């Protein structure tokens, strides 16, 4: 995995060793000797990861973490502290200031490289979500997210019962606003349908505390981690793996398998709470961005006035329907519905009333569509409805029912009421339907020709008196 890493250390020998380790893994490495240089470099050309020492000549490393995390230009960069032995209070201070991890020399090279890979993956995922969210905002498709946040849920998964109970009690005391539960592997993998998925899984070693037996960190726990990261329901959860102090190789494996963080036994409750809160905060941000992107995609596909599919999003669905018809030999109906004398409504009552009429008609149409039907606003006062796997008599009956439903609707407006009627052009496409030519391998009409056939029938319905259904020549 390529990536740009900035090393911040005032000792040249430390910079050289780290640069050699990371350079051998094909990372693009830069190094600076002071906190001031690190801030300038990170703002000028943000790296993908910053690796820093806490003991700097010009600035305390914790303050550097805090400054980088507070600056919008650098807040997204993962910070990894690599330092000498430090008191637990300093370790906690660095985590509170924004460091993702604190690793103490001498370093295990495999664990260091696994942590770098882990941070790069997380940073790339966040960057992708930021880009997608930015595109939605740029095109006006983003909407403000609600301010309400449900109580975060953390599941302690597996482990010896004594260890699980002890950790749950200690960590819960540090996080009174987080709901904790204990699950077995089967409960995590086969959660009840509709049940809320835990925001974070705390995966415990299967053996007794302090034992690195085969059923622990390198066995059941990592297998369950792999299953959870592969499943749709749980893949966006956060994963923190608890390991015995000796399980260094398993730590590297856990990080490469998708764990977001590691806790070492014996677990310090304050540190566990800090790491869990940090992971929950990252998950909330990622979830919010995913929702924003999903909302943006929906807005891009939906007509904002009627709530129906718009013309752009309708086209690929029609193409799939046409291709399925060609493959199966089953016909489908395509109808264009146009409101009669709609311009008169706008001219008489104003465009606000016209919009209200369009919304009400769209709702009437929405009530009669069936699963598999395609309903869209084709443009202006014109709607498109495609009915898969139907014969001509059924298609005509449904089109006439639509005309009646719209014609029977009285719309109350300021100063009176409006009654609107609709004309429908209907054509049967593909298959071997009655008077419709078959759709063979050599006849593959375009989407435009399908719609044109329905449009010609619509024009005939209009010219013959409106408020009726006209069946046109099938497009095949």
> What strands, in cross-sheet order, belong to the sheet with 4-8?
28-32, 4-8, 49-52, 79-83, 101-104
Looking at the DSSP bridge assignments, the partners of residue 4 are 28
Per-residue pLDDT for the chain (476 aa), expressed as one digit of tens each? Answer: 478 999 999 999 999 999 999 999 999 999 999 999 999 999 999 999 999 999 999 999 999 999 999 999 999 999 999 999 999 999 999 999 999 999 999 999 999 999 999 999 988 888 776 676 565 555 455 555 555 467 899 999 988 888 999 999 999 999 999 999 998 877 777 765 557 899 999 999 864 434 433 334 446 788 889 999 988 889 899 999 999 999 999 999 999 999 999 999 999 999 999 999 999 999 998 888 777 767 666 667 788 899 898 888 888 888 888 888 888 888 999 999 999 999 988 888 889 889 999 999 999 898 888 888 999 999 899 999 999 999 999 999 999 999 988 988 888 877 778 889 999 999 998 764 443 433 433 344 577 888 899 999 999 999 999 999 999 865 44
Q: Which helix (H) or strand (E) holds 170?
A: helix 161-174
Inter-residue contact 334 to 450 (CB < 8 Å):
yes
Which letter does DSSP use for residue 10 in this model? S
Among 133, 209, 381, 382, which one carries the catalytic annotation?
381
C-alpha–C-alpha distance, residues 373 and 384, integer Å: 10
Q: Nearest 5°: CA angle at 83, between 19 and 119?
A: 65
SS3 238: strand
Which letter does DSSP use for residue 11 in this model? -
> How is residue 163 written in tokens?
């260890």
pLDDT at residue 211, rounded to an integer: 41
C-alpha–C-alpha distance, residues 129 and 287, integer Å: 10
Q: Which helix (H) or strand (E) holds 224?
A: helix 222-230
The long-range contacts involving 402-407, CB below 8 angstroms and separated by at least 24 positions, are 402/335, 402/337, 402/364, 402/365, 402/368, 403/467, 403/468, 403/469, 405/364, 405/368, 406/337, 406/339, 406/361, 406/364, 407/467
Which letter does DSSP use for residue 199 in this model? S
pLDDT at residue 348, rounded to an integer: 87
> How is residue 308 written in tokens?
């129906």
Show Cβ contacts of residue 437 under 8 Å, excluding neighbours closer than 6 positions.
443, 474, 476
pLDDT at residue 296, rounded to an integer: 66
C-alpha–C-alpha distance, residues 220 and 230, integer Å: 16
> How is residue 303 written in tokens?
């007509």
CATH 3.90.1150.10 given to domain 118-300: no
Could you give the count of Cα atoms lying within 13 Å of 363 in the half-sphere of its Cβ?
9
Q: Phi and psi of 249, rounded to 5°?
A: -65, -40
Domain 311-471 class? alpha beta
Show Cβ contacts of residue 379 under 8 Å, excluding neighbours closer than 6 positions.
311
pLDDT at residue 313, rounded to an integer: 83
Inter-residue contact 198 to 187 (CB < 8 Å):
no
pLDDT at residue 209, rounded to an integer: 38
SS3 408: coil
Is the pTM here over 0.85, yes or no?
no
Dump strand ranges (E) for 166-288: 179-183, 200-203, 238-243, 261-264
Start and end residues for every CATH 3.40.50.2300 domain found in the chain: 1-107, 118-300
DSSP characters for 78-139? -EEEEES---HHHHHHHHHTT-SEEEESSPPHHHHHHHHHHHHHHHHHHHHHHHHHHHHHHT
pLDDT at residue 283, rounded to an integer: 92
Inter-residue contact 391 to 331 (CB < 8 Å):
yes
C-alpha–C-alpha distance, residues 385 and 4, integer Å: 52
Inter-residue contact 219 to 173 (CB < 8 Å):
no
CATH 3.40.50.970 given to domain 1-107: no
For the question of residue 63 being annotated catalytic, the response is no
Q: Strand 200-203 and strand 153-157: pairing? A: parallel
Inter-residue contact 243 to 265 (CB < 8 Å):
yes
pLDDT at residue 184, rounded to an integer: 80
Q: Nearest 5°: CA angle at 401, between 464 and 340?
A: 40
Residue 445 CA, chain-centre distance (Å), reads 36
Q: Phi and psi of 154, rounded to 5°?
A: -120, 130
pLDDT at residue 214, rounded to an integer: 34
Inter-residue contact 99 to 50 (CB < 8 Å):
no
Angle between helices 222-230 and 248-257 (to 10 degrees): 10
pLDDT at residue 457, rounded to an integer: 94
Quickly count: other Cβ atoms within 10 Å of residue 286's Cβ.
16
SS3 305: coil
SS3 326: helix
C-alpha–C-alpha distance, residues 225 and 202, integer Å: 10
């Amino acid at each position: 995995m390529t990536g740009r890493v900035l090393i911040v250390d005032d000792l040249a020998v430390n910079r050289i060793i780290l640069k050699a380790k990371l350079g051998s893994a094909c990372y693009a490495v830069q190094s600076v000797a002071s906190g001031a240089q690190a801030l300038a470099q990170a703002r000028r050309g943000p790296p993908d990861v910053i690796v820093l020492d806490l003991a700097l000549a010009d600035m305390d490393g914790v303050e550097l973490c805090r400054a980088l995390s507070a600056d919008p230009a650098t807040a997204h960069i993962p910070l990894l502290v690599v330092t000498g032995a430090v008191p637990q209070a300093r370790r906690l201070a660095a985590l509170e200031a924004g460091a993702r991890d604190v690793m103490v020399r001498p370093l295990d090279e495999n664990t260091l490289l696994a942590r770098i890979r882990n941070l790069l993956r997380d940073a790339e995922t966040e960057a992708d979500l930021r880009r997608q969210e930015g595109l939605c905002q740029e095109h006006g498709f983003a909407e403000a997210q609600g301010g309400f946040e449900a109580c975060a849920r953390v599941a302690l998964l597996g482990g010896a019962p004594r260890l699980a109970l002890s950790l749950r009690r200690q960590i819960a005391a540090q996080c009174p606003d987080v709901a904790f539960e204990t699950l077995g592997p089967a409960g995590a993998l086969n959660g009840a349908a509709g049940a809320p998925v835990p925001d974070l899984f705390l995966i415990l070693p299967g053996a007794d505390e302090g034992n690195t037996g085969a059923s622990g960190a390198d066995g059941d726990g990592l297998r369950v981690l792999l299953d959870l990261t592969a499943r749709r329901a749980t893949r966006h959860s956060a994963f923190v793996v608890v390991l015995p102090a000796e399980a260094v190789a398993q730590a590297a494996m856990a990080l490469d398998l998708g764990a977001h963080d590691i806790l070492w036994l014996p677990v310090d409750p304050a540190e566990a709470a800090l790491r869990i809160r940090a992971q929950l905060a990252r998950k909330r941000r990622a979830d919010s961005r995913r929702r924003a992107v999903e909302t943006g995609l929906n807005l891009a596909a939906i007509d904002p006035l009627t709530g129906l599919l718009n013309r752009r999003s309708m086209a690929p669905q029609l193409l799939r329907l046409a291709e399925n018809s060609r493959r199966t030999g089953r016909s489908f109906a395509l109808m264009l519905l146009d409101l009669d004398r709609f311009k008169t409504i706008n001219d008489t009552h104003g465009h606000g009333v016209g919009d209200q009429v369009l919304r009400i008609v769209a709702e009437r149409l929405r009530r009669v569509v069936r699963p598999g039907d395609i309903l869209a606003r084709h443009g202006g006062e014109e709607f498109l409805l495609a009915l898969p796997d139907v014969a001509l008599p059924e298609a005509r009956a449904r089109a006439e029912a639509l005309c009646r439903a719209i014609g029977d609707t009285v719309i109350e407006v300021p100063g009176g009421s409006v009654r609107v009627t609709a004309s429908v052009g209907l054509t049967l496409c593909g298959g071997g339907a009655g008077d419709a030519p078959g759709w063979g391998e050599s006849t593959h009409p375009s989407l435009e020709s399908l719609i044109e056939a329905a449009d010609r029938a619509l024009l005939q319905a209009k010219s013959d008196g409106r408020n009726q259904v006209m069946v046109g020549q099938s497009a095949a």
